[in-house]
Structure 1
Amino acid sequence: MEETREISALFHLIDDPDIEVYSTVSDRILSLGSNIIPNLEHLWENTPEEAVQERIELLIHRLQYCELSQDFARWKALPEPDLLAGALLVSKFRYPDLQVSQVLQDIEKMRRNIWLELNNYLTPLEQTNVLTTILYNYYHLKGTDINYSEPNDFLLNNVLESKKGNAISNGILYLVLCDLLDIPIRAIPIPRQHILAYFDVEQGQWDALPNNPSNRISFFIDPMSGQVYSQKDVETYFRRISVPPTAHFFRPLTNIRIIQILLEEFARCFDNDSQRYKYEELMQLSQLLGE
């Protein structure tokens, strides 16, 4: 953005010790939108005072967050919000300048390697074994316990780079590949777990699932390792946690709901005094998707 007299005057007042003055200045800067971010970055580079740099950083973050909120609103409004696009929006909260093209290339390489091993004669279990073998053995994807001191474990771009993620992020990668390969695997809301299920359903017929779709599930997959579980295994789990296996737990989660869960869990990485504003912003994004 061209630096006008007004912008120059605003920048001179960023270090004003009067909170009311600074509040007025910051509100005006924010009203100018994300186009002013390069100007703020230039100002940051030429500002020696650490306290002023922190103010500039916060302004840049707030501008990026405003733009990200708009992106989430547009994503939610799509007829069929894409899971990959939603996951990358979450990544942009931490990495605003994320190069999405590299992520898409990595995903496409994975998809092609799996597709080359698939054919129409494979059983559902054989299909799943192909995907699992390539993902966890060939690419050496590892699953880690959910650790809120490791925020990168929640982000798809980092999972692809480090080949390490938790059950939520690994599950999203698994689901993205299934969607690209027309494999009918979906996430389901089994309590205290992040589990995937292979549904006996044709593409385009998801809306025709019965009220209790558990009998349409062939088997379950743990995205931490790709391990397959049977109906009996899941029934045993429900007995162990003393929760009745009602129909709700076997209905596929929507892509919007999966991204909500990701946002809420990712937010817990910032549930501390120093980064509380990030926690609140992520929870606001989740609420935006639920409105």
Structure 2
Amino acid sequence: MEETKEIHALLHLIDDPDEEVYSSVSSRIIALGSGIIPNLEHLWETTPDEPVQERIEMLIHRLHLQDLRTDLRDWSQEKEQDLLTGVLLLSRYQYPDLNLTATLQELEKIRRNVWLELNSFLTPLEQVNVLSNILYNYYKFKGSEVNYLKPDEFLLPKLVESKKGNAISIGLLVMVLSRMLDINLQVINIPRQFILGYFDDWLRIKQRATYPPEQIQFYLDAASGQIYSHQDVETYFKRISVPPSASYFRPMSNRNLVQLLLEEYAKCFMDESKRYKQDDLLNLSGLLDDAEPDETDAE
């Protein structure tokens, strides 16, 4: 952004010790938008004062967050929310300048490799086994339990790059690929698990015509690629002493999946020095609370 007299004055006042003055200055800088970020970055590089650098870093963070909030709100208000777009938005919180081209290219390579092995004669179970075999055996993706000390394991670009993630990120990867390949896997809301079900007829479920498990052929644990039967799931519910109500078997919408990802990712920032990040992420999740539900966004 061209450095006008106003911008020059604002940048000069960032180090003002008066908190009221700094609050007014920072509000005005944020109002100018992300175009001022290069000016702030140049100031950071030429400022030896560490407390002033910290102020500049926080201003840049707030500007990126402002753009992310706008984009997430716009995404939530679309008629049909694209899952991949929503999941990638989260990556911008921690890595606002991350180039997603490599991620998208790698996803397309995986999709193509799976597609080449599919044909119309395969049963649904065989289709899912092809997807699992290519992900876990050919590409060597590895899933682990959710570890809030490893925030990068929640981010799809980092998962695609390292081939290591947690149950949530790998589950979302499977969902994204399933949508690309027209494989009718859907994430369901089984307690304390991230499980996908293969649905015979999603339209009937959306219309609530049947009890959801009647439309599920089998289940997939995305972290390991293991297939579960109805008996396996019934045994799990008995083990945790929870009655298996219909709500646990209804597919989660794209909006709810991104909201879950935001809330789980927020738990990575519990210590006091990073608590502002947790607040940011929960506030972003709140934007999706305010959005009107869309019955079609899980298609």
Q: TM-score, normalised by structure 2?
A: 0.95
- 8 Å CA contact retained: 1:186, 1:198: yes
- 8 Å CA contact retained: 2:118, 2:127: yes
User: Deviation per CA, 1:17-74, whole angstroms, max 9, x where unpaired?
Assistant: 1111111111111111111111111111111111111100000000100110000001
Structure 1 CA distance, aligned partners of 2:210 and 2:281?
32
List gaps (5 residues or longer) in structure 2: 291-299
Structure 2 CA distance, aligned partners of 1:232 and 1:206?
21
User: Deviation per CA, 1:62-113, whole angstroms, max 9, x where unpaired?
Assistant: 0100110000001001111011000100000011012122211111000000
Tell whether 2:262 aligns with 1:286. Answer: no
- 8 Å CA contact retained: 2:204, 2:210: no
- 8 Å CA contact retained: 1:73, 1:288: yes
Shift of 1:205: 6.0
- 8 Å CA contact retained: 1:212, 1:248: no
Structure 2 CA distance, aligned partners of 1:208 and 1:196?
20
Query: What residue is the counterpart of 1:129 in the other structure?
Result: 129
Query: What residue is the counterpart of 1:266 in the other structure?
Result: 265
Query: What residue is the counterpart of 1:248 in the other structure?
Result: 247
Shift of 1:209: 4.7
Structure 1 CA distance, aligned partners of 2:174 and 2:181?
11
Other structure's SS at 2:268 match: helix
- Structure 2 counterpart of 1:274, one-letter code: S
Quote the sequence identity (%): 58
Q: 1:115 to 1:209 in 2, by over 3 A?
A: farther
Other structure's SS at 2:117 match: coil
List gaps (5 residues or longer) in structure 1: none
- Structure 1 counterpart of 2:45, one-letter code: E
Structure 2 CA distance, aligned partners of 1:208 and 1:138?
38
- Structure 2 counterpart of 1:279, one-letter code: Q
Query: What residue is the counterpart of 1:207 in the other structure?
Result: 206
Query: What residue is the counterpart of 1:162 in the other structure?
Result: 162
What is the number of residues matched between the two proteins? 290
Shift of 1:134: 0.1
- Structure 2 counterpart of 1:237, one-letter code: Y
Task: Compare 62-71 and 193-202 and name the one that shifted more.
Answer: 193-202
Shift of 1:208: 3.6
Query: What residue is the counterpart of 1:147 in the other structure?
Result: 147
- Structure 1 counterpart of 2:88, one-letter code: L
Shift of 1:201: 1.9
Structure 2 CA distance, aligned partners of 1:286 and 1:212?
29
User: Deviation per CA, 1:175-223, whole angstroms, max 9, x where unpaired?
Assistant: 0000000000000000111111111126x66634535211100000001
- Structure 1 counterpart of 2:13, one-letter code: L
- 8 Å CA contact retained: 2:205, 2:212: no
Structure 1 CA distance, aligned partners of 2:57 and 2:123?
53
Other structure's SS at 2:218 match: strand
Structure 1 CA distance, aligned partners of 2:193 and 2:237?
11
- Structure 1 counterpart of 2:284, one-letter code: L
Q: 1:252 to 1:137 in 2, by over 3 A?
A: same
Structure 2 CA distance, aligned partners of 1:285 and 1:255?
15
User: Deviation per CA, 1:255-277, whole angstroms, max 9, x where unpaired?
Assistant: 00000000000000011200111
Other structure's SS at 1:269 match: coil
Other structure's SS at 1:176 match: helix
- 8 Å CA contact retained: 1:211, 1:247: no
Shift of 1:224: 0.7
Shift of 1:145: 1.3
Query: What residue is the counterpart of 2:294 in the other structure?
Result: none
- 8 Å CA contact retained: 1:148, 1:266: yes
Task: Please list every run of at least 4 consecutive aligned residues from structure 1 whose deviation after the TM superposition is greater than 6 angstroms.
Answer: none
Q: TM-score, normalised by structure 1?
A: 0.98
Shift of 1:136: 0.4
Structure 2 CA distance, aligned partners of 1:205 and 1:11?
59
Structure 2 CA distance, aligned partners of 1:113 and 1:123?
18
Structure 2 CA distance, aligned partners of 1:73 and 1:135?
32
Other structure's SS at 2:63 match: helix
Tell whether 2:20 aligns with 1:26. Answer: no
- 8 Å CA contact retained: 2:205, 2:250: no
Task: Compare 98-107 and 24-33 and name the one that shifted more.
Answer: 98-107
- Structure 2 counterpart of 1:64, one-letter code: H
Q: Which structure 2 residues correspond to residues 66-85 of structure 1 after superposition, within 5 A? A: 66-85=66-85
Query: What residue is the counterpart of 2:223 in the other structure?
Result: 224
Task: Compare 11-20 and 230-239 and name the one that shifted more.
Answer: 11-20
